[in-house]
Structure 1
């Protein structure tokens, strides 16, 4: 299965709270998405990450768009339970300001 956070991505992503106050000027380092079931069409743009807790912060686009926290550990658990990638990392994504994807 695909790694949701590579060592390179982990190293270049600011830790939680490091971009506090930047709002949609913060840089999205990664994009996650789902094409499956109730999560189909959802997207998560990670701007901050804590490798110890596997918690991330960024823009969540689902029923509405909002800044918030999401768990990459939960994403990995979902993928393992399903036996396939329910949530994937967009390997073609280039980092950009959240304002460009909002």
Structure 2
């Protein structure tokens, strides 16, 4: 699956790094990636790098438990390169990262996407 499209590139150019700084859960999602059983990247900002790669920023879970909230997943803000997402493979079948085609750039906020997840906060 193609992780970067012309539509996503256009949306990221309108949302460069630090453009949504301070918005937290109100940050708008540009693209959602997922892989494995629970790994999810809600990308809110990004910029192209020399050589064709992209530096992306967003709210991320790798499906690890949150030690301070039993039964919930650990989520955190962080950076990832597009090339890193493209190179990931998840056991046992070696499947790669996918793009959620139902999440349109700017349509959802981080809090809307994350907090509807039972493992994060809503029961």
TM range (shorter): 0.7 to 0.9
**TM-score normalised by structure 1 residue count:** 0.80
Number of equivalences:
93
Higher strand share: 1
Higher helix share: 1
Q: Mind listing any 5+ residue stretches in structure 2 that lack a counterpart?
A: 65-73, 115-123
Q: Mind listing any 5+ residue stretches in structure 1 that lack a counterpart?
A: none
Q: Does 1:48 align with 2:45?
A: yes
Higher RCO structure (Cα 8 Å, ≥6 apart): 1
Structure 1 consecutive aligned stretches of length 4 or more whose deviation exceeds 3 Å: none
**In the aligned structure 1, how far is the partner of 2:47 from the partner of 2:39?**
22
Q: CA RMSD in A?
A: 1.7
The 5-angstrom pairing of residues 12-51 of structure 1 reads 12-13=11-12, 14-35=15-36, 40-51=37-48
**TM-score normalised by structure 2 residue count:** 0.68
